[in-house]
Amino acid sequence: MATVWDLRQADLSTFTIEEMRQLGDYLGHFEYRRGVRTALVYRSPLELPLLKLWHLVGNGFLEQDRRWFETLGGAMAWAACSDRPRTRSGGTVLRVVA
């Protein structure tokens, strides 16, 4: 099942490398998420390098097929095009508000 993380309302300005590692370690416990499509929606192009860094230091996030989008519609369309079997709902949208 694909997942879309909508981070547009999150304040990523204080997200440290240590916090990125901790979140990656936490997400690593969800073995059933290995290899799934995960789309991240960001608010500003300035956040994209931070999200890519998060992917690099986050222990690979279970080797997920991960992409970054400026629009929720683009993220949802990409997540829905998975070749893998999907649930009837087609995925999950996670809205992060910090």
Q: Which domain holds residue 12?
A: 3-95
Q: Is the pLDDT of residue 74 over 90?
A: yes
Q: Please tell me the distance from the alpha carbon of residue 93 to that of residue 75, in angstroms, as a whole number.
A: 10
pTM here is 0.70
Residue 50: band (very low, low, confident or very high) from pLDDT cuts 50, 70, 90: confident
pLDDT digits (tens, 9 = 90+) for 15-46: 888 888 888 788 777 776 777 788 999 999 98
CA gap 84, 8 in Å, rounded: 27
Does pLDDT of 87 surpass 70?
Answer: no
Number of compact structural domains in the chain = 1
Question: Looking at the DSSP assignment, which residues form a beta bridge with residue 39?
Answer: 4, 67
